[in-house]
Amino acid sequence: MEEPLIERMRVYGETIFAEMTRLAMETGSVNLGQGFPDTDGPRSLLEGASRRVLEGVNQYPPGPGRPELRQAVSRYRARHYGIELDPDSEVYITVGATAGIAAAMLALVERGDEVIVFEPMYDSYAAMITLAGGVRRSVTLRPDAVSGRFTFDPEELRAAVGPRTRMVLVNSPHNPTGTVFTPDELEEIARVCREHDLIAFTDEVYEFLTFDGRPHVPLATLPGMRERTVSVSSVGKMFAVTGWKTGWVMGPEPLVSAVRTVNQFLTFSANGALQLAVADAIDGEWEWVAAQRAALQGKRDRLASGLAAAGFEVNVSEGTYFVMADIRPLGFGSGLDVARALPAGAGVAAVPAQVFYDHQEEGAHLLRFAFCKRDEVLDEAVSRLTAWHGRGA
């Protein structure tokens, strides 16, 4: 049989994550490649889910999601950001943010439409824009010479807009760079959206994982943006249960309704017992969220200083689970080669950042490390990397 996969999806065949995970397992490496925590979410959340399953919440929930969760989402968005969402028509529950992203691209991007994305980018954006028949126009985030945080050149953003541009996709706090867009950066994006009448799609799954007191500002709160912005967030990063795959799409009714039209034939609905447990946690576990944020900030510092001691140049991470490290001070040029050599050489796994870029040369010298791990795991990784560096890498 000829290659059965449709042509435009063939480039997405084998992901680097699978390869790195396999290498990590073969070598007994500390795996800082994958972005999931190695400790559990709040106890009440876990017990709430088990209780609901035993109580018999095991049949299809309503397609748009349990009203309890839609209302809880509407409440926290109002409380934290002043965004008013009608829980019935402006909040829609999906199988993780991933399904929300997929449904939104398939629902909103017409064949041949262009979508502006910031690279490096989360891997599902590229694949879903392609599956929808859209075309990416990527704007590169680069470390600022002074601050060391990744940011974009507003000129480059404006130059990316063309007659077929339909959407700007914004992920802040940003995976993999850790950048949290400032109000000024968001205003640059908002201006482009308003001037060219574009849809904004925002991925805010790390909304509560910002550090050093930095606020997360949803793009929808900027002037003229609410009516054109559709957003996703999810329980995975909020409560450290990445396997739960329960997310929500938020925005004005016409945009959410478009997403629903597609999603009802993708997954129809998401796990109902989990939705009820998540609704309770959203209302009752803010102290846990604050404590998690503080703990992660400490982990960022722990790993960043360890990587610097091991010879990497470490970029500034303002949020998320990740920090980017430059391998050039160690005398290397190819992150792909280093990432492939690290498990056997050092006993540590990381992800070569170039896989997150359309312009791969922009990220060739960067590795992404995840710090959402127990302190002793981070310390072990650092001591292995330091020893590896000491042996002349």
Judged by CB under 6 A, the stretch of 17-25, 237-245, 277-285, 296-304 that binds ligand PLP is: 237-245
256 part of the interface to ligand PLP, by CB under 6 A: no
C-alpha dist (Å) from residue 80 to 83, 163, 215, 221: 8, 36, 10, 11
The binder of ligand PLP chosen from 21, 138, 179, 234 (CB under 6 A)? 234
If the CB atoms of residues 92 and 388 are measured against ligand PLP, the closer one turns out to be: 92
Sequence-distant contacts of 14-21: CB under 8 A, at least 24 apart: 15/123, 15/355, 16/339, 16/351, 16/352, 16/355, 17/123, 17/351, 19/340, 20/339, 20/343, 20/349, 20/350, 20/351, 21/349
335 part of the interface to ligand PLP, by CB under 6 A: no
User: Quick one: which H or E segment has residue 170?
Assistant: strand 165-171
The SS3 assignment for 126 reads: helix
Rounded-to-10 torsion of CA 257, 160, 148, 358? 80
231 part of the interface to ligand PLP, by CB under 6 A: no
CA distance 311 to 306: 9
Site string for ligand PLP, 168-207 (x = CB under 6 A): ---x---x---------------------------x-x--
Nearest distance in Å: CB 155, ligand PLP? 25
Rg (CA), the chain: 21
The binder of ligand PLP chosen from 52, 77, 137, 245 (CB under 6 A)? 245
Which residue of the chain is nearest ligand PLP when measured via CB?
Answer: 96
If the CB atoms of residues 24 and 241 are measured against ligand PLP, the closer one turns out to be: 241
Site string for ligand PLP, 88-127 (x = CB under 6 A): --------xxx-----------------------x-----
Which residues form the interface with ligand PLP (CB under 6 A)? 96-98, 122, 171, 175, 203, 205, 234, 236-237, 242, 245, 247
